[in-house]
Amino acid sequence: MSKGQVGAELRLVTPGMVVGPSSGKRAGSGMIAENNEFIATRVGWLNEQNNVVSVQPINSAYMPRSGDLIIGFVAEVRNNLWFFDVNGPFQALLPMSLAPWKVEFGSTRQHLGIGDAALARIQEVDETHNMVLTMKGVGLRRLNEGAVVSIPVNLVDTLRGDNNTTLSRIRDVTDCRIIVGDNGRVWIHGDAENMHVARQLIQTLNEEGHKKTFESAVQALENERGEH
Partner 1 sequence: MVELVPSLLRQELDRLAADGQRIDGRGQFDGREVHLEVDCLYNAEGSAKVVWGDTIIYAGVKFEIRTPWPDRPTQGSLMCGAELRPVAHRKYEPGPPSPESIELGRVVDRGIRESGCIDMEKLCIVPGEKVWGVMIDIHVLSDGGNIFDAAGLAAIAALRTAVVPAERFDVGEDHTLLVNGTPIMASFKRAGGRFVYDPSEEEELGGDERIHITLGDEGHLHSLQKGLKGVFTPSEFAEILAVAEQKCSELREMVAEKEGN
Partner 2 sequence: MGGYGDVKLLRDDGKRLDGRAIDEMRPVTIEAGVLPAADGSAMVTHGLNVAVAAVYGPMEAHPRKIQRQDRAVIDVRYNMAPFSTGDRIRPGFNRRSREISKVTAESLESVVLVERYPRSKIRVEIEILAAEAGTRCAGITAASVALADAGIPMRDMIVGVASGKIEDTVVLDLDKAEDNYGQADLPVGILPNTGEIAFLQMDGDLSIEEYNLAMEYNHKAAKEIHEIMVDALKRRYEGGEN
Site residues for partner 2 per CB under 8 A:
1-2, 10, 12, 14-18, 30, 32, 34, 39, 41-43, 45, 57-61, 89-91, 127-129, 154, 209-212
Between 3 and 78, name the residue whose CB sits nearer to partner 1. 78
- Evaluate whether 146 touches 192 at the Cβ level (below 8 Å): no
Cβ distance 185 to 149 under 8 Å?
yes
Instruction: Please work out, in degrees rounded to the nearest 5, the angle formed at the alpha carbon of residue 49 by the alpha carbons of 46 and 51.
Output: 105
- Using DSSP's 3-state secondary structure scheme, residue 220 falls into helix
Q: How far is the CB of 192 from partner 2 (least distance, A)?
A: 26
- Identity of the residue, 189 or 210, whose beta carbon is nearer to partner 2 in the bound complex: 210
Measured between alpha carbons, how far is residue 160 from residues 52, 74, 202 in Å? 24, 26, 11
Considering the complex, state which of residue 99 and residue 151 has its C-beta at the smaller distance from partner 2: 151
State the residues that interact with partner 1 by CB under 8 A. Answer: 73, 75, 85, 113-117, 143, 145-148, 192, 196, 199-200
CA distances from 56 to 49, 60, 90, 98 (A): 12, 10, 24, 34
Closer Cβ to partner 1, 18 or 75, answer by number = 75
Cβ at position 129, least distance to partner 2 in Å: 6
